[in-house]
Amino acid sequence: MSNQLTRRDFAIRTAGFGLAGFHLAGLKAMGLAPAALAEAEQAARSETSPPIADPHSLDPYSLVDPELLSVLKQFPAVDLTLEMAIKFRQMPGMPPLPAPAPQPVERHIPGPPGAPEVRIWIVDPAPIEKGKPLLLHMHGGGFMMTGPMLMPEIQAIATDCRCVVVSVDYRLAPETPYPGALEDNYAALKWVHAHAAELGIDRSRIAVGGESAGGTHAASLAIHARDRNEVPIVFQLLIYPALDDRTGSSNPPPPAIGNFIWTASANRLAWSSLLGVPAGSSKVPAAAVPARVASVAGLPPAWIGVGAIDLFAEEDMEYARRLVHAGVATELLVMRGAFHGFDLLVPDAEVSKQFSASWKSALRKAFAGGKAV
């Protein structure tokens, strides 16, 4: 129990940086195109002003699951600046769980042509076994940072799902805009496929997955791998993924969602930092955003999970609908009363345990079932 409390307290102290609104000054300092900044600034001025209170409106806190409420109320309202983001990157993440948990091994592999090497972490729960399944994992962090609980997360996945986990330290925005991170992730996908014997894995049982921005990257990687047709993927695990840059810009969210942890303002600026152009604009390349891709036919089976009051609820449900219509085997889970990142912040809540059990079960079933061809 003390370990769980430690992890939760760590998340509360750090997630306020990683899951808060992005400040325009940070994007200016990073050199985002002036035209993009002008549009982003105009959007911020027009969309972040406090709304006029409606005496008949519903209190957003009344929608939150009671077990999550006390932790949620510990979060201050933070508007992330570039300086804060840099400090967050420099903060040490939560250390790996001690043995007997499988220990992460750091490797550096060839990056995309003309790009630096890519750092990966490998967690193998059964080093002497052969023919194991593998999850290629992309971390969250709003495209700009790394999740503070990365190491315990990937250790838990490896242990609970009996698979090798390779987590990719892709290049971050805004210093590296699209398609830099995508190409890093694809280089890692090709590397694990080519080094299957060394890793002791079954190359026909490679899944991709991630949470939040990591889910974005996983969905994009699945699309990219389908189009290049070089490496088969058996499954995509999308944990409250950001799939549509238009959410919070050209598509304003309904009042009931996106009020906590990850807001419309944060989403606009996070996507703008990744894309290098204003989120929601006509300048966004369709290939960079899963929701903008013309066809989702031929993608691997998917599990998509999201909280009902998460900003991403509507776009995740819409993406699941598109997959189903395209004949892609899809499971969708929408958790009542859950906001963005709820399962990491309050892991002992019943809603969190149900959520985690669902995606872990889906991943195990995908590995035990059919093989990618």
User: Which tokens go with 248?
Assistant: 């919070």
Residue 218 has pLDDT above 60, yes or no: yes
Quick check: 199 pLDDT over 90?
yes
DSSP string, 242-287: ---TTBTTTBPPPTTSS-SSS-HHHHHHHHHHHHSS-TTSTTS-GG
What are the distances in angstroms from CA 93 to CA 106, 116, 165, 236? 15, 23, 18, 26
Residue 78: what pLDDT? 66
Give just the sign of the alpha carbon dihedral 103, 106, 110, 116.
Answer: positive
Active-site residues: which are they?
Answer: 212, 310, 340
- Provide the token pair at 6: 């430690």
Q: Which residues pair with 305 in a beta bridge?
A: 239, 333
State how beta strands 235-239 and 302-307 pair. parallel
For 14-55, what is each residue's pLDDT tens digit? 554 444 333 344 444 444 444 444 444 444 444 443 343 454
Banded model confidence at residue 161, pLDDT cuts 50, 70, 90? very high
Q: Which has more confidence, 10 or 219?
A: 219
Residue 325 pLDDT greater than 80, yes or no: yes
For the stretch 50-78, pLDDT in tens is 343 454 578 999 999 999 999 999 987 66
pLDDT digits (tens, 9 = 90+) for 99-141: 999 999 999 999 999 999 999 999 999 999 999 999 999 999 8
**Residue 24 phi, psi dihedral angles, 5° rounding:** -60, -30
**pLDDT, greater one: 299 or 36:** 299
How much is the pLDDT for 206?
A: 98
Q: What is the DSSP letter of 59?
A: P
Give the C-alpha distances (Å, rounded to integers) separating 108 from 49, 143, 184, 300: 45, 21, 12, 28
Task: Provide the pLDDT for residue 372.
Answer: 65
Contact status, residue 164 vs residue 200, Cβ threshold 8 Å:
yes
pLDDT (average), residues 352-368: 98
Summarised one tens digit per residue, pLDDT across range 244-283 is 999 999 999 999 999 998 888 889 888 999 999 999 999 9
Cα four-point dihedral sign 195, 197, 199, 205: positive
Which of 91-100, 111-120, 175-184 comes out lowest in average pLDDT? 91-100
Instruction: Name, in order, each residue with C-beta under 8 angstroms of 183's C-beta and a sequence gap of 6 or more.
Output: 111, 112, 115
Average the pLDDT over 195-199 and give the result. Answer: 98
Helices (H), the chain: 2-18, 24-29, 34-47, 66-72, 82-90, 150-161, 180-194, 196-199, 213-228, 264-275, 313-325, 342-345, 350-368
- Report which of 340, 306, 302 is spatially closest to residue 323, judged by C-alpha positions: 302
Contact present, 307 and 339 (Cβ < 8 Å) = yes
Cis peptide before 127 (omega within 30 of 0): no
- Arithmetic mean of pLDDT, 311-337: 98
